[in-house]
Amino acid sequence: MATATAGVRPSRRGKTRRQTSLRGAGPFTYLSLALIGILFAAPFVWMLVTSFKSKVDAAAATPTWIPRDATTDSYRFILDQPQTPVFRWFLNSMLAATGQMLLVVTVASMAAYALSRMDFPGRGVLSKLILATLFVPPISLLIPNYVIISKLGWLDSLPAVIIPGAAGAFGVFFMRQFFQSLPAEIEEAALVDGANRWRIFWTIVVPLSRPALATLALLSFLTNWNDFLWPLYVLFSPSRLTLQPGLSTLQSAYTTDYATIMAGGVIASIPVLLLYLVSQRFVIEGVSRSGLKG
CB closer to other proteins, 87 vs 228 = 228
Measured between alpha carbons, how far is 247 from 241 in angstroms, rounded to an integer? 10
* Closer CB to other proteins, 70 or 136, in the complex: 136
- Name the minimum Å distance from CB 8 to other proteins: 4
Distance of closest approach, residue 170 Cβ to other proteins, in angstroms: 11
| 110 CB-near residues (< 8 Å, 6+ apart) | 201
Q: CB 166 → other proteins: shortest distance, Å?
A: 6
Contacts (Cβ under 8 Å, ≥6 apart) of 254: 260, 261
**Least separation in angstroms between CB 80 and other proteins:** 20
Q: How far is the CB of 67 from other proteins (least distance, A)?
A: 15
Cα separation of the two ends of the chain: 26
User: What minimum distance in Å lies between the beta carbon of 159 and other proteins?
Assistant: 11
The residue (of 69 and 198) whose beta carbon lies closer to other proteins is: 198
Least separation in angstroms between residue 210's CB and other proteins is 18
Give the nearer residue to other proteins in terms of CB position, either 38 or 70: 38
Nearer to other proteins, 79 or 197 (CB): 197
Question: Residue 58: which of 256, 270, 282, 276 has the closest Cα?
Answer: 256
Nearer to other proteins, 70 or 273 (CB): 273
Residue number, 216 or 243, with CB nearest to other proteins: 243
Within 8 A by CB and 6+ apart from 215, the residues are: 174, 282, 285, 286, 289, 290
Cα separation, 263 vs 131, whole angstroms: 41
Look at residues 143, 130, 141, 147 and name the one whose alpha carbon lies nearest to residue 165. 141
* Shortest CB 218 distance to other proteins, Å: 10
Output 101 or 114, the one with its CB closest to other proteins.
114
